Amino acid sequence: MPPLFDAHNHLQDDWLTPHLASIDTDLRACGVQRVVVNGTCENDWSAVAALAKRFAWVLPSYGVHPWDAGNRSANWLTTLQAQLAADPRAGVGEIGLDRWILDSAKPDDPRLAGLRRAPLGEQGEVFLKQLALAATENRPVSIHCLQAFGALAGLLRHVNTPARGFLLHAYGGPAEMVAAFAERGAYFSFNGSFLAPRHEARRAAFRVVPAERLLVETDAPAIPLPAELAQFVLPPSSDGGAINHPANLRATYAALAELRGVSLAQLTAQVAENFSRYFIA
């Protein structure tokens, strides 16, 4: 079975912890060879490091997510530098910009409970410090962007990015911006949730991503793919929400191959090459 690669998930999440042994078995059975596990705040970095020790297929990544930017400690950057220094394979992420939490999220959204929602300018400062760290050390970086693609493009015009490029995870920006981001060095990871009928614009963007910049991801346990495509199911969260199983990566590859009009074998080989070039080389 040709190897599969998950460019972005959150295996350290509490919703997945009770199921790690079976997830390990399922991922191996599906031929998943590497999974990039993204920390989101200082509090979860040690859990990410522990997973990288426990499972040979985990590639760790450490960062402060824009949702968590407002709750960072005074020493966050020093702690991040130490975390990176401890593992030369580690990437920087998940970092980024998110206007959705400011303009669109409900005040009582349980996913944002207890978080101070940092204004976009403050998110930008936290993002740029982490991006600079990735650029200096030429580490892979995983970028989250929600409803802030103009702002992101503006920031990227004025700063150094890692020589290896940067990943726009679950790219949900316009198809028209793909070429300019790619020119700056962007990779784009396709998420299974984009297979929902309402996400035609996101699928359109992935038809024009250059083949050599294409990656695939689950973002598990977040943003599940449509239920009828999920081959692996986990018990729902306490509020009844669906929990995305990381082994649903396989179904996402198959759907992306169909979307791009290439064979699954062709897509799998291309993504393997891209993943190795970006995350491992």
Among 168, 219, 234, 271, binds Zn ion (CB under 5 A): 219
Q: Choose the stretch contacting Zn ion; rule: CB under 5 A; options: 56-64, 89-97, 189-197, 265-273.
A: 89-97
186-191 and 214-217 as β-strands: parallel, antiparallel, unpaired? parallel
What is the dihedral sign for C-alpha 85, 90, 96, 102?
negative
CB 38 → Zn ion: shortest distance, Å? 5
Question: In this complex, which beta carbon is closest to Zn ion, that of residue 63 or of residue 162?
Answer: 63
The total number of residues shown for the chain amounts to 281
Contact yes or no for 221/6 (Cβ under 8 A): no
Provide the 10 A C-beta neighbour count for residue 179: 12
We find the least distance from the C-beta atom of residue 36 to Zn ion, in angstroms, to be 10
Q: Which range touches Zn ion (CB under 5 A), out of 87-95, 121-129, 155-163, 200-208?
A: 87-95
Strands ordered across the beta sheet of 58-62: 4-9, 32-38, 58-62, 91-98, 141-146, 166-168, 186-191, 214-217
Which residue number, 68 or 219, has a Cβ lying nearer to Zn ion? 219
Question: Judged by CB, which is closer to Zn ion: 95, or 178?
Answer: 95
State whether residue 105 is helix, strand or coil. coil
The pair of structure tokens assigned to 156 is 């990227």
Rank residues 61 and 270 by Cβ distance to Zn ion and give the closer one.
61
Angle between the N-to-C axes of helices 120-137 and 149-156, in degrees from 0 to 180, rounded to the nearest 10: 40
CB of 170 to Zn ion, least distance (A): 7
98 versus 219: smaller Cβ distance to Zn ion: 219
Question: Rg of the chain's alpha carbons, rounded to an integer?
Answer: 17
Neighbours of 31 (CB within 10 A): 14
DSSP 149-178: HHHHHHHHTTS---TT-EEETT--S-GGGH
> Of the two residues 44 and 257, which places its CB atom closer to Zn ion in the complex?
44
The residues pairing with 141 across neighbouring beta strands, listed in sequence order, are 92
Closest distance to Zn ion from the beta carbon of 10 (Å): 6
98 binds Zn ion (CB under 5 A): no
Part of the chain binding Zn ion (CB under 5 A), chosen from 86-94, 102-110, 196-204, 231-239: 86-94
Q: Which residues contact 261 (CB under 8 A, 6 or more apart)?
A: none
Nearest approach, Cβ of residue 262 and Zn ion (Å): 26
Applying CB under 5 A, the span of 51-59, 97-105, 128-136, 217-225 interacting with Zn ion comes to 217-225
Q: Which is nearer to Zn ion, 144 or 203 (CB)?
A: 144
Least spacing, CB of residue 31 vs Zn ion, in Å: 23
Nearer to Zn ion, 57 or 257 (CB): 57
Q: How many residues bind Zn ion (CB under 5 A)?
A: 2
Q: Which two tokens stand for residue 157?
A: 């015009």
Please identify, among the stretches 48-56, 145-153, 213-221, 268-276, the one whose residues bind Zn ion according to the rule CB under 5 A.
213-221
Q: Which residues bind Zn ion (CB under 5 A)?
A: 94, 219
